[in-house]
Chain A
Amino acid sequence: DTAVSQTPKYLVTQMGNDKSIKCEQNLGHDTMYWYKQDSKKFLKIMFSYNNKELIINETVPNRFSPKSPDKAHLNLHINSLELGDSAVYFCASSLGRTGQWTQYFGPGTRLTVL
């Protein structure tokens, strides 16, 4: 059973398009995250939701909009894609929102903007 799953695994699209990435976790966790990993492997938090409430919103262009329909799902919609958005996007989840809870990562979505 996959604990944290993401779709699609690969996404290739043209500049200016709008795309979405979906994430689902079956761990019973209540907190979910989106991270971006650039070409140098640096992982940086973008957003976090706890029980459908946005709790972390880093300095990210407002073309990126997360949405959490329930605590097992967190989607990421990106408008007007730019070349610099090319990266691997990871979803993660944890049991709680505070520091002591371990985060588990999904397999990633590799986004390439042409």
Chain B
Amino acid sequence: QKEVEQDPGPLSVPEGAIVSLNCTYSNSAFQYFMWYRQYSRKGPELLMYTYSSGNKEDGRFTAQVDKSSKYISLFIRDSQPSDSATYLCAMKSTGTASKLTFGTGTRLQVTL
């Protein structure tokens, strides 16, 4: 079993829809949770960064972390065709040589 599980999709939604992307994890040492967006043939770019449990909102994006359930979510409101990309969740612990552990990514397609 992988440390971080993420549905690979693809997920296809119409423009304007609310998108929900999720990851589950098994390592209770994870304290920092991130969502990266990766366009085709590009590097991952950081979208949201959350420490421990709770919600964080940035424009159309909301990140939620539920450490008790080991479950994180990314919501995209009013989705746009430009949101079409692969979304990678990533997590890390507070260790002195902390590495990012990624999910496999969910491919999202927002259609007109």
Contact = CB atoms under 8 A, between A and B. Distances in A.
Interface of A: 4, 33, 35, 40-45, 48, 50, 55-56, 58, 90, 97-100, 102-108, 110
Interface in B78-111: 86, 88, 90, 92-102, 104-105, 107
Interface residues of B, number: 31
B32 interface: yes
Given A102-B49, A105-B45, A107-B42, A45 B97 contact: no
A40 B104 contact: yes
26 contacts: A4-B43, A40-B104, A41-B8, A41-B105, A41-B107, A42-B105, A43-B44, A43-B90, A43-B102, A43-B105, A45-B99, A45-B100, A45-B101, A55-B97, A56-B97, A56-B99, A98-B98, A99-B94, A99-B95, A100-B51, A102-B49, A105-B36, A105-B43, A106-B43, A107-B43, A110-B41
